[in-house]
Amino acid sequence: MRKYFGTDGIRGRANGVITPELALKVGQAAGLVFLRGDHRHRVVIGKDTRLSGYMIETALVAGFTSVGMDVLLLGPMPTPAVAMLTRSMRADIGVMISASHNPFEDNGIKIFGPDGFKLSDEVEREIERLIDSNLQTKLAGSTDLGRAKRIESVHARYIEFAKRTLPRNLTLDGLRVVVDCANGAAYRVAPETLWELGAEVIAIGTEPDGFNINRDVGSTAPEALVSKVRELRADIGIALDGDADRVLVVDEKGQRVDGDQLMAVVARSWQEDQRLSKNGIVATIMSNLGLERYLGGLGLGMVRTAVGDRYVLEHMREHGYNLGGEQSGHIIMSDYATTGDGLVAALQLLSVVQRQQRPVSEVCHCFDPLPQVLKNVRYGAGGEPLRQDAVVTAIEGARQRLGEGGRLVIRPSGTEPVIRVMAEGDDRDLVVRVVDDVVEALRKVAA
C-alpha cells in the first residue's frame, strides 16, 4: 500500500490533504530521486485553472529549487502537453498540478519521468520513503540552489504537436465544432488547434475563474455541450475534462459517444490502414462487453486491465500495443503520446469523419452497448465495507444471478472514498436489480 500516491498521482482536498508542506516535500523528494548525473537538472511544471494551483505551484518550486533543480513554469496546460514537453525540453521530471475531473476544491500532483511516462510504483514508493525521511540533511548547498522562470512559448509548441498527429493534407474545413474545455487546462489550446485546422469553432467552458473548473461543463457534465450542439446544429461536440487527458464526444443529434465507441472507431480505422502494432487493443475492466464482441467480429482482440490509464499504458508498453484506453474517455495512442490526450483523440476521430464524409452519428455507432449500470457508494474514511460479510454475500449472489453472460465489477476508487458498482448483461432489468442489491448492502454497512 502506498501512503500518498493513488491511481493517478497524489490527490485530495486542497489545503487539507494537498498542503503547501506536502507539496514542498514532494518537490524535494521527487527532485532527489531524479538527480542523476552532473548536468544541470530541470523540471517542468504545468497546472490546470484551480485557485489552489498557485499555492501548490509555489510550494513545489521551493521544493525543487531547494535540492538544486531548475524549474520551468508552463502555466495552465493540458496534462498530455506537460508529458510531451518533459521530453521535448529534455527535463528530468514533469509535474502536472491537477485533480482532473474533480471539483475545484480538490487538487493533485502528477509526476512524469524524463521519458514523459507516469512513474512506476517502485519510483513512487521511493519518493514516499523520502517524503517521510529527514530531508533537511539532503538539501543543496547555498551555491547549488535551483532557479525558476516562466516559459511563454509552450502553447504554440503543443498546438503544433497536436496538428502534426494528422495527415499533412487533411483539414477540418466545412466542420462546425463545439468544444467544451471545462474551464480547465485546455481553454486556450483546444479551440486554437481546431480553428487552425480549418474548423468553424464554437468554444464553451473557456472562462476559468479559479472556481468553475468542471462545474456544469466538461466531459463529466456534457449537458451544456449537448444543448449547444443541438442549438447550433453543429457537426460534432467535443468535451474535455479539467486537465484535458480525457474526451467525450457528442454527435450531430446530441447523442453522447463514450471512450468505448471512440476506441472502436480508431481501432477499425487503424486496422484498415495497417497501423495497429498488435492485433487488438488494451482496455479496462469497465469497458463494455459490446466493444469486446465488436472487435472480435473484426478479428481483433481486447485485453482488460485494472481501472486507470496508467495500467492500460503499462500493459501497452510491456506487450507492444499502440492503442488503448478507458470508457471514460482516456484514449492512449502511443504513436503520439505517453498518456491519454483528449484533444489528439478527438482529432483522430475527426480525421475519420472527414475521410468518410459521413455524419458523426454513423461513424461513431460501431456497436450497441450491452445494458450497463454504474453506481457509486460513498463511505467514511478508514472504513472497509467490502470486507463485511453482508456485502460479500450480496456480491456472490449477484455474480451467480448474472451468470456467464454478464459481468459484475466492484472496485474502490483510487482518488476518493467511493466504491463503484458496475454490472452489465443482455437483460437490463436483471442488471439494474443486481446493482441495486449490492449498492443497498454497501450503504447499510457504510451507514
Chain segment 385-444, per-residue pLDDT in tens = 888 999 999 999 999 999 888 899 998 886 678 899 999 999 999 999 999 999 999 999
Q: What is the pLDDT of residue 1?
A: 66
- Output 348 or 445, whichever has higher pLDDT: 348
Region 131-160: mean pLDDT is 96
Which amino acid makes up residue 443? R
Helices (H) and strands (E) in the chain, counts: 14, 18
Q: What is the pLDDT of residues 162-171, one digit of tens each?
A: 999 999 899 9
The answer to whether the annotation marks 277 as part of a ligand binding site is: no
Q: In this model, does residue 383 exceed pLDDT 80?
A: no
- The CATH classification number of 257-343 equals 3.40.120.10
Up-side HSE of residue 324: CA atoms within 13 Å toward CB? 32
- Output 29 or 426, whichever has higher pLDDT: 29
Burial grade of 400 (CB within 10 A; 0-12, 13-18, 19 or more):
exposed
Round to whole Å and give the CA distance between 205 and 7.
27
Q: What is the pLDDT of residue 381?
A: 66
Reported pTM? 0.89
Q: What is the pLDDT of residue 415?
A: 67
Dig out the grid coordinates for 394 from the structure. Answer: 450480496
User: Is residue 310 very low, low, confident or very high in pLDDT (cuts 50, 70, 90)?
Assistant: confident
Neighbours of 401 (CB within 10 A): 17
Q: Which CATH class is domain 157-253?
A: alpha beta
Q: What is the pLDDT of residue 409?
A: 92
Q: In this model, does residue 263 exceed pLDDT 80?
A: yes
| Nearest Cα to Cα of residue 250 among 387, 356, 349 | 349
Identify the residue whose cell numbers are 454497501: 442
Round to whole Å and give the CA distance between 51 and 200.
31
Q: What is the pLDDT of residue 405?
A: 82
Q: In this model, does residue 297 exceed pLDDT 90?
A: yes
Domain boundaries along the sequence of the chain = 10-151, 157-253, 257-343, 372-445
Round to whole Å and give the CA distance between 31 and 23.
12
- Point out the residues that are catalytic: 100
Identical fold between 157-253 and 257-343: yes
Q: In this model, does residue 308 exceed pLDDT 90?
A: no
Question: Which stretch of DSSP H or E encloses residue 331?
Answer: strand 331-333
Q: What is the pLDDT of residue 315?
A: 96
Q: Where would I find the beta strands (DSSP E) of 40-80? A: 42-47, 70-76
Region 7-24: mean pLDDT is 95
Up-side HSE of residue 134: CA atoms within 13 Å toward CB? 1
Which amino acid makes up residue 130? L
Residues near 352 by beta carbon (within 8 Å), at least 6 away in sequence: 265, 266, 269, 363
CA 156 vs. chain centroid, Å, equals 22
Neighbours of 269 (CB within 10 A): 18
Q: What is the pLDDT of residue 446?
A: 83
Q: What is the pLDDT of residue 8?
A: 85
The answer to whether the annotation marks 48 as part of a ligand binding site is: no
Q: In this model, does residue 382 exceed pLDDT 70?
A: no
CA 322 vs. chain centroid, Å, equals 17
Rg (CA), the chain: 22
State the chain's mean pLDDT as an integer: 95
Looking at 1.10.357.10, 3.40.980.10, 3.30.1490.480, 3.30.310.50, the CATH number of the domain 372-445 comes to 3.30.310.50
Round to whole Å and give the CA distance between 134 and 286.
41
Round to whole Å and give the CA distance between 261 and 284.
14
Round to whole Å and give the CA distance between 58 and 403.
53
| Nearest Cα to Cα of residue 99 among 52, 139, 150 | 52
Residue 433, SS3 per DSSP: helix
Region 176-202: mean pLDDT is 98
Dig out the grid coordinates for 140 from the structure. Answer: 543543496
Q: What is the pLDDT of residue 133?
A: 96
**Weakest mean pLDDT among 21-35, 260-274, 376-390:** 376-390
Q: What is the pLDDT of residues 111-137, one digit of tens each?
A: 999 999 999 889 999 999 999 999 999
The answer to whether the annotation marks 132 as part of a ligand binding site is: no
Q: Which CATH class is domain 10-151?
A: alpha beta
